[in-house]
Amino acid sequence: MKLEESDVSELIDSLTEALRANPEATPLRLHLASLLLEDGQQQLAIAELGTVLSKDPGNASAQQLLQRALGAPASEPAPTESAKTEIAEEQPFGTVDWAKLEKEVGVDIAPPFVTDGSEFDEVENDRGSDVASLDLGNKRDHSNEELITIRGGEEAKFFEEPSSERITLADVGGLSEVKERLRLAFLEPMRNPEIAKAFGKTLRGGLLLYGPPGTGKTYLARAVAGELDARFLNVTIADILDGVMGESEKNVRRVFDRARELAPCVLFIDELDSLGGKRSGYSNLGWMRNVVNQILQEMDGVSAGNDGVFVLAATNHPWDVDNALLRPGRFDRVVLVTAPDAEARATILKHALKDRPISGIDLNQVVAATPGFSGADLTHLVASAAERAMSDSIAQGELRHIGMNDFRAALTEVQASTGPWLQSARNVVEFSNGDGRYDDLQRYLEAEQKNKPKKLRK
């Protein structure tokens, strides 16, 4: 049975929501990537496949889908029977074995979007796709942005932050330790090059932001650009990878060349583990090894100087990044961006509740009940509470304000999405922290164990 376009859209929303609850569910992510390709959303599909390959470079299903997404001819052998169950293009969408898929990934993905594997219910899903943005200052006004074109001779669009609309660290609520670390490790040496040089502090290299998803790493990078009064160039995996042999490496070169033209410029590479994963895992993807090599050459300034180019990157999994990228002169400064602390949670909640009808909200109680919640989780929590009040208002025929009971109900449905990431982080700290690289992460995990959520009082 072929699905209607609206059904495919609802299924994509359903799978996206399920992955927020269980980001480690590889079969689910592969199926989502296949659906995105069928729906013509190539760049989003490439991003999902990059996430899979960063953790499992040898995944045959992901490799084949990526080649399909990039328009390259398939070069891998036919997938095994077990791989065929993972790759959604091998199955008609209407005959997906949802029960089996749910068992594999540990997430209930069928209701309310799927009832019997082929019939879809019409369900309103207004949670939005921008909840991961920690845009506390509400300063996104791209009306005057310049579109920068640099990809493969074709027009690829990168946003350049307009100088008249600066975002600084003052616009980021809370996270005082993170902001202090950014100042000491990156900003102050850049502002005082002579003093830094006298103390042997090199100005080369970049800064890597890492932490759970949805914690505002991109927003922090924009704030750093504002602090340096520099332009902002945002690059993702979809902007780099190309199905034509050699074009991906050329795209890396063009990105850095454009950043040099715009200097002073902050070049921000999102999801670095997807582009700069460990080369040892790319035995079957030689062209991906070449992409990593090209990034290394550009960061070293082999062909051109990088004066005035400040390279920042973000990743959820720094342990999957190629070690050569973390050596001195490259991403040698690493900053942990944690889930929002109490002050930051209060700021995010205030911003999310702004312009909504509220009554009797004890913000301190909500803050105490949400340790470990990311910015995306908090936005989702407020939206869920608002949905409940809106539903009652429609049923009663009169406006009812959002109250604490709405938050109590919402907290039974919305949980912190950082759990799977924290578990992965604990494994890294326990087994792979011999060089002390993740000492700050270890301290954060120890503090998190003591920071238990408190129930809302009645």
**Cα–Cα nearest to 253, from 202, 293, 193, 208:** 293
Structure confidence at residue 178 (pLDDT): 85
Q: How confident is the model at residue 393 (pLDDT cuts 50, 70, 90)?
A: very high
Structure confidence at residue 368 (pLDDT): 93
Q: Which residue has the higher pLDDT, 316 or 25?
A: 316
Q: Quote the CA–CA distance of 367 and 346 in Å, as a whole number.
A: 6
CATH second-level architecture of 145-336? Answer: 3-Layer(aba) Sandwich (3.40)
Q: How confident is the model at residue 346 (pLDDT cuts 50, 70, 90)?
A: very high
Average pLDDT value for residue range 30-58: 80
Q: How confident is the model at residue 132 (pLDDT cuts 50, 70, 90)?
A: very low
- Helices 26-38 and 5-21: angle between axes, nearest 10 degrees: 150
Q: How confident is the model at residue 400 (pLDDT cuts 50, 70, 90)?
A: very high
- Residue 245 in contact with residue 163, Cβ under 8 Å? no
Q: What is the DSSP letter of 422?
A: H
Structure confidence at residue 331 (pLDDT): 86
Structure confidence at residue 405 (pLDDT): 94
Structure confidence at residue 115 (pLDDT): 35
Per CATH, is 5-105 categorized as 1.10.540?
no
**232 vs 150, 220, 255, 414, CA distance in Å?**
14, 12, 12, 34
pLDDT tens, position by position, 203-224: 666 889 999 888 888 888 899 8
pLDDT tens, position by position, 158-182: 444 444 467 888 888 778 888 888 8
Q: Which CATH number fits domain 340-458: 1.10.1060.10, 1.10.8.60, 3.10.330.10, 3.40.350.10?
A: 1.10.8.60
pLDDT tens, position by position, 63-86: 788 778 776 444 444 444 444 444
Q: How confident is the model at residue 16 (pLDDT cuts 50, 70, 90)?
A: confident
| Residues in Cβ contact with 101 at an 8 Å cutoff, skipping those fewer than 6 apart | 27, 28, 31, 109
Is 160 in a helix, a strand, or coil?
strand
Q: Residue 344 above 70 pLDDT?
A: yes
Structure confidence at residue 99 (pLDDT): 56
Global pTM reads 0.63
Q: What are phi and psi of 381, to 5 degrees?
A: -60, -45
pLDDT tens, position by position, 96-114: 454 554 554 444 444 333 3
242-263 burial, b at 16+ Cβ within 10 Å, e below that, comes to: beeeebbbbbbbbbbebbbebe
Instruction: Give the domain ranges of the chain.
Output: 5-105, 145-336, 340-458
Q: Residue 49 above 60 pLDDT?
A: yes
Structure confidence at residue 326 (pLDDT): 86
Q: Which residue has the higher pLDDT, 303 or 437?
A: 437
Task: State percent of the chain over pLDDT 70.
Answer: 73
Task: State percent of the chain over pLDDT 90.
Answer: 15
Structure confidence at residue 64 (pLDDT): 80
- What is the enclosing helix (H) or strand (E) of 147? strand 146-149
Average pLDDT value for residue range 301-321: 82
Average pLDDT, the chain: 75
Q: How confident is the model at residue 151 (pLDDT cuts 50, 70, 90)?
A: very low
For the ranges 123-137, 138-152, 429-443, the maximum mean pLDDT occurs at 429-443
Q: Residue 134 above 80 pLDDT?
A: no
